Structure 1
């Protein structure tokens, strides 16, 4: 049946589509006008509240527009400088503001800066809920908190940073493997520790060392999701500081290392195909080698006999993982790596044979033939 040039679409659908297009054209025109207005105002160095509100409108529509975030910071810098430079006596109209500042333990100018920073942090919350992975928003929050650290007493700034730690915890609760979120968390924790190292900060946060609580946080996040590379990585960064803060002796360090091996071994038995788990196991093994400058040793000292004991134990444990996971290349790679190290420290060791290692390499070639060049290099390097 011919349509005679008339689309077979209901008239109402056509009307709606045309209405939608008209609405979109109108929105684009309004957006372009708003953008031009903001840019022209900033070029003219109009750092008024009106310009600031226009940046809010524009960023609400397009939070990825990083240039406008820069403009917003220019305006805020201008306002902060003006407030902090004001040294005239407050008028009677400012009595309420002075009273609030006194309650906060701040001069009026600093209290005004604090309020402005809090307001802008609050402005970002709805944007974060809608665009949690827009990193320009997180960048602006970091700048605001850094500005608070620069212009406010430690006890005021550290309170803001603690609130930010709560916010990033909520974010990681929703997206536990967001490595940008983990990086931001480390930034926040570092700021809190620095601020808490002086007298003012300690009144707000107690001890400035957060390594114990952060280590416990990694445990919590790992227990909720084993496949969390960022949590395992953060844990590895915390371990040297943790042992140092505990003033751990040799026995305590050995017990700690054994507990970590037990933790990661249970995880590997759960899912030997998870590469993030093997990274952490490799990290623990690396701490046994004094020659490895990439991983700070856990055991001090760790002699050849101690290294051989751990290598024997872990090789045996990894061997057992092959049962039911014969096609897991990570197991064979670990066996080859650890066996090579074992023979270096225990040349006469009987726990591993070259023939067995050749068999593991054959399995690797079969599982992952696309990396044949890599396996040839490994064969040559290990003398197999």
Structure 2
């Protein structure tokens, strides 16, 4: 399965020779035997009500997950084993060896916590080849998140935040390989949030402290958008960052207006480059949505944004979108935007002269011709807008 040209699993060359089929049959037999062994070990013992948390079982989970990382039940079993090992290490009374004590002292940790840190690092390392081969497997990302959450729970903040920073570097590399991997983008937001929490000054204030990463993350979205305009995840992340960014800058009315104008300029340039890219229109719609105080799903950028201000932006953007029709008369997104923004403009400026109902009817006719399969939708739109 592929998503925007990137395979979910690394592609392999198909070899239909008899020798290859025999090899595949052997691999299937071995996999089935391995699966049965792991599952049997995971079953509750009727007498002692305890599972097999041995090193041998743990190694078997590694073998099985290497072959099939989509087997989420085995990931759950692996975490049970690790929880058992972490609890055992943290509760151990025996004195560490001289070498282990020296390593723990160098890391600035008690020996038990240092051992847990090493175990977490080892398991994170185990996941890297899997992540490279299966970059869109939910369970690999989920397990990394669990490991780092465990580190946050059991280790001092300075040790945990070091792991999270390393994770941010890893996810940046993964997004460099596939900049539109939404698994990676979602994970990045989780990593950034964890770093900010661990780097805060302890009173919950993150917006002005050293833990605030909103500026660097906003710059990261700019970089990723410049390398690939058709990056819905980057545009979406950018929209989530904007309210925090303006708040952290203590932006006044003028600054907010300049910021919004700059964002409109950015997305307009992108739309002129490729008006057929739906991800660009989503971001443009988001910016337009911030103008409406009645829209609870988009936090306003301009505060306040009165009717006159709304009308001014709507007039400007309708004019800009109109110009995009030249050379892109078959682009349905343009007509949809014109109808949506014109309807809002007439609500704000009932006697506005920038748009006429006849012109709107013409745009709707074009939509019907371009996309006849959605005729029902266009009829509903016609009825809703009174056209």
- Would you call these one fold, judging by a TM-score over 0.5? yes
Deviation at 1:23, TM superposition (A): 3.9
Judge which range, 55-64 or 110-119, deviates more: 55-64
Cα distance in 2 for partners of 1:64, 1:90 equals 38
Cα distance in 1 for partners of 2:164, 2:4 equals 68
Q: Per-residue CA shift, 1:35-91, capped at 9, x if unaligned?
A: 233233399622122221122122222222222211211111110000111134445
Cα distance in 2 for partners of 1:163, 1:26 equals 39
Cα distance in 2 for partners of 1:10, 1:269 equals 35
Deviation at 1:251, TM superposition (A): 0.3
Q: Per-residue CA shift, 1:104-153, capped at 9, x if unaligned?
A: 11110000000000001011111122222222111111111111111111
Q: Per-residue CA shift, 1:335-366, capped at 9, x if unaligned?
A: 11111111111112111111111111111122
Unpaired runs of 5+ residues, structure 1, are none
Of residues 89, 96, 120, the one that matches 2:95 is 89
The structure with the largest helix share of the pair is 1
Partners of 2:168 and 2:192 within 8 A in 1 = yes
Is 1:176–2:192 an aligned residue pair? no
Partners of 2:124 and 2:147 within 8 A in 1 = yes
Cα distance in 1 for partners of 2:308, 2:3 equals 88
Cα distance in 2 for partners of 1:19, 1:150 equals 51
Deviation at 1:9, TM superposition (A): 33
Cα distance in 1 for partners of 2:309, 2:212 equals 31
Partners of 1:155 and 1:201 within 8 A in 2 = no
Partners of 2:161 and 2:195 within 8 A in 1 = yes
Unpaired runs of 5+ residues, structure 2, are 42-47
Which structure would you say has the larger Rg? 1
Deviation at 1:257, TM superposition (A): 0.2
Cα distance in 2 for partners of 1:324, 1:261 equals 21
Of residues 211, 229, 253, the one that matches 1:226 is 229
Cα distance in 2 for partners of 1:333, 1:19 equals 56
Cα distance in 1 for partners of 2:179, 2:4 equals 58
Deviation at 1:214, TM superposition (A): 0.7
Partners of 1:195 and 1:201 within 8 A in 2 = no
Cα gap change, 1:88 to 1:290, in 2 (>3 Å) = same
Cα gap change, 1:158 to 1:2, in 2 (>3 Å) = closer
Counting only pairs closer than 5 Å after superposition, residues 360-375 of structure 1 correspond to structure 2 as: 360-375=363-378
Cα gap change, 1:81 to 1:4, in 2 (>3 Å) = closer
Judge which range, 193-202 or 288-297, deviates more: 193-202
Cα gap change, 1:216 to 1:12, in 2 (>3 Å) = closer
Partners of 2:8 and 2:135 within 8 A in 1 = no
2:50 — aligned with what?
44
Partners of 2:9 and 2:135 within 8 A in 1 = no
Judge which range, 298-307 or 346-355, deviates more: 346-355
Cα gap change, 1:95 to 1:194, in 2 (>3 Å) = closer
Partners of 2:10 and 2:133 within 8 A in 1 = no
Cα distance in 1 for partners of 2:352, 2:319 equals 13
Query: Between Structure 1 and Structure 2, how many residues are aligned?
Result: 381
Partners of 1:343 and 1:349 within 8 A in 2 = yes
Q: TM-score, normalised by structure 1?
A: 0.90
Q: TM-score, normalised by structure 2?
A: 0.89
Is 1:112–2:118 an aligned residue pair? no
Deviation at 1:32, TM superposition (A): 2.8
Cα gap change, 1:307 to 1:50, in 2 (>3 Å) = same
Partners of 1:197 and 1:207 within 8 A in 2 = yes
